[in-house]
Amino acid sequence: MPEFSFELNDEQKSVRDWIHGFAQDVMRPAAAEWDEREETPWPIIQEAAKIGLYSLDFYAQQFFDPTGLGIPMTMEELFWGDAGIALSIVGTGLAAVGVLANGTEEQIGTWVPQMYGDASDVKVGAFCSSEPDAGSDVGAMRTRAVYDEAKDEWVLNGTKTWATNGGIATIHVVVAVVDPELGSKGHASFIIPPNTPGLSQGQKFLKHGIRASHTAEVVLEDVRIPGSCLLGGKSKLDERLARAKEKARSGGERVKNAAMATFEASRPAVGAMAVGTARAAYEEALEYAKTRTQFGRPIIDNQGVAFQLADMRTQIDAARLLVWRASWMASAGKPFTSAEGSMSKLFASETAKKVTAQAIQIFGGNGYTREYPVERMHRDSAIYTIFEGTSEIQRLVIARTLAGMPIR
């Protein structure tokens, strides 16, 4: 009978400790500064690139870890360091996943390396799906891609919003409508090569948290790209659209769209990000409770504080286990028959918000100031219940999966 273990192997432990060292020595000392500046921390990204932490090879190695734990382990340690800087480092990964999930081998080999650049000239990528009137409701997407058969080109028009690295990326991956009659099933993903005319950055958002991560609108005005920039190719798209039309006529099973395929693959990773932030806040609160004295004794000597810490640690460990389960299932090719990916993201993101709020409470008035990092961690945690599918959408996905009905 095969051995069952939650223990990381020696190689995984070595990688984890290496990332933790970078998070502790490079990211944390710079976290408050870049949060205040609200700018992309290019020097930190470059430092990560110099040691191989920001590279296609590194993330490919973690992605293909046979246990499935390479990516969540990486995310937890980086986001333990600082969520804003970490998102600047890993934000390119969502665009890369978009290409890996939908592209051909040639497209993957051509475009993904360009998203990262190299240690001497780092680049970033951007995945553009959300729109001003189409966030969770991907069926309301309005950005259009029209095929110009005479020139074998696609012409894109529309506005994307909430795009991590939007406008500053070398490579943009854009989800657009190719067949409006099919709703969300009529979407496709496209590569926008560097310096393509018609693509521009719109509004840059000033955010509540993760302020070191660049978030902006991306405006597409008659953007022309070669036919080869359609991820998966024209033949595959035509076949998929034909199947979708046939299933729509027959009332058969639904066909997943390009954006949702990307989000499903990334949900456990987002859960791991939330675990990292929650763990960081818990550790700060635990240390503070041991050293902060009131009425002649450390505040951890009071059950009201100690029990909070016990609950915080329990919730963090439970969240990590859900993330690891979903990550292992995805790696093993096991379907999320009970929406395990959404479960992991839902529970971990809600845990991060709760734990960081409890950490501020334990710090008292000090926790409400920027002198201590739990204030920033609490602001950062709010995003986990929003991006890549809100908590409400995760609950809807889980409920629909369990009920086998189109719950609204």
Indicate the fold that domain 258-403 takes in CATH.
Answer: Butyryl-CoA Dehydrogenase, subunit A; domain 3 (1.20.140)
Residue range(s) occupied by CATH 1.20.140.10 in the chain: 258-403
- Please check the confidence at residue 291 and state whether its pLDDT lies above 90: yes
- Domain spanning 10-122, CATH class: mainly alpha
Range list for CATH 1.10.540.10 in the chain: 10-122
What the block records as the tokens of 217 is 């609108």
Q: State the Cα–Cα distance between residues 174 and 112, nearest whole angstrom.
A: 14
Catalytic residues: 388
Domain with CATH 2.40.110.10 in the chain: 125-250
Q: Which of 98-102, 116-120, 132-136, 221-225 has the lowest mean pLDDT?
A: 132-136
3-state secondary structure of 362: helix
Q: What is the DSSP string of 242-254?
A: HHHHHHHHHT---
CATH number of the 125-250 domain = 2.40.110.10
What is the average per-residue pLDDT within 32-58? 97
* Residue 146 near residue 161, CB atoms below 8 Å: no
pLDDT at 1: 43
Average pLDDT, the chain: 93
pTM, entire model: 0.93
- Res 301 pLDDT > 70: yes
Helix/strand/coil percent split, the chain, to 5: 60, 15, 25
Q: What is the DSSP string of 176-243?
A: EES-GGGGGGGEEEEEE-TT-TTEEEEEEP--SS-TTS-EEEEEEEEEEEEGGGBTT-HHHHHHHHHH
